[in-house]
């Protein structure tokens, strides 16, 4: 009887990696954790050295795709380490970084509510999209093949297009931070003065503004689509 009870107890799956191993995946160590530390240091010195902050912040943006690159082009078998944790960590890190920068901009520009509204839209759209995707059983929040919006599908279907929009937003926010001189700057006046003062600023602001506008439109579409998915899920359960 005792032996039968012991045999009924499921054996531990020794082939399953421990949580520590996932935390120590090479892309996590070499890129993700370094990006987080870089972020913390950048914001710690943001008011003391705006230019160093901008460089560190931009480096963090430009290294966002490295974990995926290491996984797809491994130089060692240990680099093949796709994990849900890593994907979620990337998204959380990016959202927190953008949120912190928007909060800073809301303190140095008038009206600051513009940046706080952008912060609310960014968080709400991504959280709803993430939640609704897993609610309906999708493996990734980037799976939008069933969407009726061509722009939404283009955004998540074309990495280069999505990268342009995301980088444009961050570059625009960095430039605005560099242009700010006091805590009472009027946003419109600063943009006009910068555009008329230098062709470099005019070009940079124009290119980044286009991507920024597209990104905000996608955020609105994403929030509406995800909200609809949640409502349809509730309707389906009641039937």
> Is 94 annotated in the active site?
yes
Domains annotated for the chain, with CATH where assigned, are 16-238 (1.20.120)
The per-residue pLDDT for 24 is 64
Average pLDDT for 186-208: 89
Q: What is the DSSP letter of 98?
A: H
CB 70 within 8 A of CB 28: no
Chain centroid, CA 83 distance in Å: 17
CB 27 within 8 A of CB 71: yes
In this predicted structure, the answer to whether residue 222 has a pLDDT above a threshold of 90 is: yes
In this predicted structure, the answer to whether residue 72 has a pLDDT above a threshold of 80 is: no
The per-residue pLDDT for 2 is 47
The per-residue pLDDT for 22 is 61
* Cα angle: 192, vertex 173, 150; to 5 degrees: 100
Q: What is the DSSP letter of 141?
A: T
In this predicted structure, the answer to whether residue 53 has a pLDDT above a threshold of 50 is: yes
In this predicted structure, the answer to whether residue 75 has a pLDDT above a threshold of 60 is: no
What is the secondary structure of 32-94 as a DSSP string?
IHHHHHHHHHHHHTTTT-HHHHHHHHHHHHHTTTHHHHHHHS-SSGGG----HHHHHHHHHHH
For 33-51, the pLDDT digits (tens) are 788 888 899 999 998 999 9
Phi/psi of residue 209, each to 5°? -65, -40
For 152-193, the pLDDT digits (tens) are 999 999 989 998 999 999 999 999 999 988 766 788 898 888
pTM: 0.80
Rounded (10°) CA dihedral 108, 110, 115, 120: 120
Q: What is the Cα–Cα distance from 239 to 237, expressed in whole angstroms? A: 6
Question: For the chain, what percentages of helix, strand and coil (3-state, to nearest 5) are there?
Answer: 75, 0, 20
For 78-113, the pLDDT digits (tens) are 444 456 777 777 788 889 999 999 999 999 998 899
- Residue 70: band (very low, low, confident or very high) from pLDDT cuts 50, 70, 90: very low
Catalytic-labelled residue, pool 13, 90, 94, 234: 94
């Amino acid at each position: 009887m005792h032996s039968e009870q012991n045999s009924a107890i499921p054996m531990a799956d020794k082939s399953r990696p421990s949580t520590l191993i996932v935390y120590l995946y090479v892309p996590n160590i070499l890129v993700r954790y370094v990006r987080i530390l870089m972020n913390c240091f950048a914001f710690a010195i943001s008011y003391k050295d705006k230019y160093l902050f901008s460089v560190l912040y931009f480096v963090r943006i430009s290294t966002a795709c490295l974990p995926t690159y290491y996984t797809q082009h491994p130089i060692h078998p240990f680099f093949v380490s796709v994990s849900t944790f890593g994907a979620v960590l990337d998204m959380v890190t990016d959202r927190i970084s953008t949120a912190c920068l928007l909060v800073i901009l809301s303190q140095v520009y008038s009206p600051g509510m513009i940046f706080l509204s952008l912060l609310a839209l960014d968080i709400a759209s991504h959280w709803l999209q993430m939640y609704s995707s897993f609610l309906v059983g999708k493996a990734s929040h980037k799976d939008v093949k069933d969407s009726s919006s061509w722009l939404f599908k283009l955004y998540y279907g074309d990495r280069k297009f999505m990268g342009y929009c995301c980088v444009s937003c961050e570059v625009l926010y960095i430039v605005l931070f560099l242009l700010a001189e006091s805590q009472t700057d009027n946003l419109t006046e600063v943009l006009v003065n910068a555009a008329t003062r230098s062709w470099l600023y005019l070009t940079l602001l124009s290119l980044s503004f286009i991507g920024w506008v597209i990104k905000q439109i996608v955020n609105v579409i994403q929030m509406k689509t995800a909200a609809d998915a949640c409502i349809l899920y509730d309707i389906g359960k009641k039937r």
